[in-house]
Structure 1
């Protein structure tokens, strides 16, 4: 009847790892979003951005400072 030799560091680390995993799972349930929820949010964001882009007014005759040619002017 010999006792099994146990490395206490391994036991301690395994227990801590299990506790961290349990806590991570609880946090995922509390704060996380499912893949479907993230996909829905992304799709809604893209749609609202496309709607804004479509509604943007275009003025072709207006020249911004960025659109001007920075080269030297010929007289």
Structure 2
């Protein structure tokens, strides 16, 4: 015979896991330090300058 479980507790545990997964995704997306954001912005600006310099004028 199977294990006896309380459905309310199972639903709450699933909700906690789902919430934690969503929080982890948000931390990965938004949880960067000021230095990391500045470094990414500098890399992006350098890439834009490189591309702008390589464009042909029509």
Range class of TM-score, shorter chain? 0.5 to 0.7
1:43-73 deviation line (CA, Å, top 9, x unaligned): xxxxxxxxxxxxxxxxxxxxxxxxxxxxxxx
**TM-score, structure 1 normalization:** 0.42
The structure carrying a bigger helix percent of its residues is 2
What are structure 2's unaligned runs of at least 5 residues? Answer: 36-58
Q: In 2, Cα distance between the equivalents of 1:3 and 1:27?
A: 37
Note the C-alpha offset of 1:16.
0.4
1:4-61 deviation line (CA, Å, top 9, x unaligned): 111101110000000000000000011112xxx34x5xxxxxxxxxxxxxxxxxxxxx
Work out the number of aligned pairs and report it. Answer: 36
The CA RMSD over aligned residues, in Å, is 1.9
Q: Look up the match of 2:4.
A: 5
For 1:36-55, list aligned pairs within 5 A.
Answer: 37-38=33-34, 40=35
**TM-score, structure 2 normalization:** 0.53
Q: Look up the match of 2:31.
A: 32
Tell me whether 21-30 or 2-11 shows the greater mean CA deviation. 2-11
